[in-house]
Amino acid sequence: MKKGGTLLALDEVQKVSGWSEIVKRLWDEDTAKKTRLKVVLLGSSPLFIQHGLTESLAGRFEIIPLTHWSFSEMKDAFGWDVEQFIYFGGYPGAAGLIDDQERWSRYIIDSLIETTLSRDILLMTRVDKPALLRRLFLLGCDYSGQILSYQKMLGQLQDAGNTTTLAHYLELLAGAGMLTGLQKFAGKQIKQRGSSPKMQVLNTALMTAQSNISFDTVITNRDFWGRLVETAVGAHLVNGTTSTKAEVFYWRERGKEVDFVMRLGKIIVAIEVKSGRSKDTLAGMEAFFSIFKPQKKLVVGGSGISIEEFLSTAVMEWVK
């Protein structure tokens, strides 16, 4: 570093018992000694890292989130085309395995999904129903791109739990970078919080690795491929707005729908994905425009912006 400073990087710091208290003590000692040191703490469990920071290191840190790799990053690093990215997702550690899809699937399931569900989330907080958390994740993968009420989720999961528990578990999965529930855009925070969430996987590999549908087969499956394209667009939007003031929603009213809505301050952008799934894109856009008057209306796919161009463009460019 400049002017004689030193950079110290600690990887997988969450595996050290009591790491945040240790870092706090050493940091305060170095500060008292006026040691010119910058420390970067890295960890594969974002929930656990953030919890440790806020509990012990208040006023001493800046969070720099690293989300899933984007299409541009996977293309530059591994030469992938957009179809490969939509199917295999943004996990660089798995990129070398895609020629053996069975091995690739096992890596995603065993090394990433199981590790996160069985260890990372449980390290962060008490989970009274770990089996329900797991079933909720699987349900979210099955229904990614679809709107599910919490009551319907309980019915699908065959659990006598309550909707508050499901909402909490969905927040945990979102914090772990796996699955989130997009809220309905209503222009009012109260209505948004009370809406049924739209399931959104944050990396398409989480869907495809568990699907038992090969890359060559899925491209010819119009419905499933359409869901993957829409999920890839949604994941790009959510990952690209992490740690920004922009928000991502969906909108549906009286059978008319807009896939995604971005809001940054007073700027509203409506986004429809023409993924091959049959739906009336124009009617949803027109209805949304008449109510909310968005500054931009984007159609991704078909005769609109190409999927490749949209996934290659930084998300915040669309709200300028």
Cα(302)–Cα(309) distance, rounded to whole angstroms? Answer: 12
Identify the residue with better confidence: 65 or 146.
146
Question: What confidence score (pLDDT) does residue 48 get?
Answer: 62
* Distances from the Cα of 252 to the Cα of 46, 90, 142, 167, 258, angstroms: 32, 29, 20, 20, 6
Using alpha carbons only, how large is the chain's radius of gyration in Å?
A: 21
When pLDDT is cut at 50, 70 and 90, the band that residue 57 belongs to is confident
Residue 192: band (very low, low, confident or very high) from pLDDT cuts 50, 70, 90: low
> Which tokens go with 271?
């986004």
**Lowest-confidence region among 44-58, 88-102, 261-275, 278-292:** 44-58
What digits encode the pLDDT tens for the residues 131-188? 999 999 999 999 999 999 988 898 888 776 788 889 999 999 998 899 999 999 987 6
Token code pair at residue 315: 């998300």
Q: Give the tens place of pLDDT for each residue, 133-149.
A: 999 999 999 999 999 99
Rounded CA-CA distance 198/235 in Å is 12
Q: Give yes or no for residue 197 having a pLDDT over 80.
A: yes
Closest to 95 measured CA to CA, from 113, 118, 114, 71: 71
**Does residue 234 contact residue 260 with C-beta atoms inside 8 Å?**
yes
- What pLDDT is attached to residue 1? 47
Strand pairing report for 267-273 and 256-264: antiparallel
Can you give the pLDDT at residue 158? 79
Q: Are 136 and 173 in contact (CB under 8 A)?
A: yes
| Cα distance between residue 220 and residue 202, in whole Å | 23
Inter-residue contact 63 to 54 (CB < 8 Å) = no
**pLDDT tens-digit series, residues 1-16:** 456 678 999 887 877 7
Q: What pLDDT shows up at residue 276?
A: 64
- CA 109/CA 210 separation, integer angstroms: 7
pTM above 0.95, yes or no: no
- Closest Cα to residue 135, out of 111, 151, 105, 159? 159
Nearest Cα neighbor of 78 from 56, 60, 104 is: 104
> With 60 as the cut, is the pLDDT of residue 278 above it?
no
Between 57-66, 109-118, 144-153, 300-309, the lowest mean confidence (pLDDT) is in 57-66
